[in-house]
Amino acid sequence: MGFWKSLFSPTEASSVPTQAVSDDYAINTTGSEQTARIVFSTDRNIDLYELEELCDSVGWSRRPLRKVKKAIQHSFLVVTMWELQGARKRLIGFSRATSDHAFNATIWDVVVHPSYQSRGLGKALMHQLIKKLRSEDISNVTLFADPQVVNFYKNLGFMPDPEGIKGMFWYPE
């Protein structure tokens, strides 16, 4: 894997699911013997079927895998989130950003598997993505929020229509 960030050391593991606090995160699949670790990666060598399964789990429409592969390859940054348990690793979150590599980046395809939602992991995933964009000196970060997740992004400091600026779209007839 390229860049891995382990969110907590195994010794800090709790046997009870806990809420995430900033970067320190412990997660446990209740009843399992091995504590799971949540880690992030920027490696874009992702099993596309595993990614499709993740997107299916939140009800997103399927997209041709060849185009998904191309989108990933041509993204500026991809941050994935994995649950590691023993030798097993599971893709539980995905996000990516496109960019002009200088000023602007746009975030796409932010998703956390429903079994792992509401534990602060979406926020942690976004923090990783934004931290990496900032480390590349990108200062203008935009995204398109589905109506039901506007507050999720507002919580993270995103502003709808700053200074009256409107997102505008063009679609082929």
Ligand X SMILES: CC(C)(COP(=O)(O)OP(=O)(O)OC[C@H]1O[C@@H](n2cnc3c(N)ncnc32)[C@H](O)[C@@H]1OP(=O)(O)O)[C@@H](O)C(=O)NCCC(=O)NCCS
Which region among 6-14, 84-92, 111-119, 127-135 touches ligand X (by CB under 6 A)? 111-119
Q: Which residue has the tokens 């229509």?
A: 161
- Which of 149, 160, 165, 167 touches ligand X by CB under 6 A? 149
Spell out a b/e string for 36-75, using b for 16 or more CB atoms within 10 Å of the CB, else e. bbbbbbbebebeeeebeebbeeeeeeeeeeeebeeebeeb
| For ligand X, the closer CB: 6 or 155 | 155
* Cα torsion 20, 148, 78, 135: sign: negative
Q: At what angle do helices 48-57 and 65-73 cross, to 10 degrees?
A: 100
- Site for ligand X contains 129 (CB under 6 A): no
Active site residue 49: no
- Site for ligand X contains 119 (CB under 6 A): yes
- Which of 1, 58, 65, 165 touches ligand X by CB under 6 A? 58
Residue 29 three-state SS: coil
- Whole-number minimum distance, CB 56 to ligand X, in Å? 11
- Which of 79, 81, 121, 130 touches ligand X by CB under 6 A? 121
- Site for ligand X contains 21 (CB under 6 A): no
Label each residue of 104-166 as H, E or C: EEEEEEEEECHHHCCCCHHHHHHHHHHHHHHHCCCCEEEECCCHHHHHHHHHCCCCCCHHHCC
| For ligand X, the closer CB: 110 or 130 | 110
Q: Which of 49, 116, 153, 171 is catalytic?
A: 153
| For ligand X, the closer CB: 86 or 167 | 167
Which region among 4-12, 25-33, 61-69, 115-123 touches ligand X (by CB under 6 A)? 115-123
| CA–CA dist 27, 7 (Å, integer) | 10
Catalytic sites, residue numbers: 153
Interface residue list for ligand X (CB under 6 A):
58, 110-112, 117-123, 145-146, 148-149, 151-152, 155
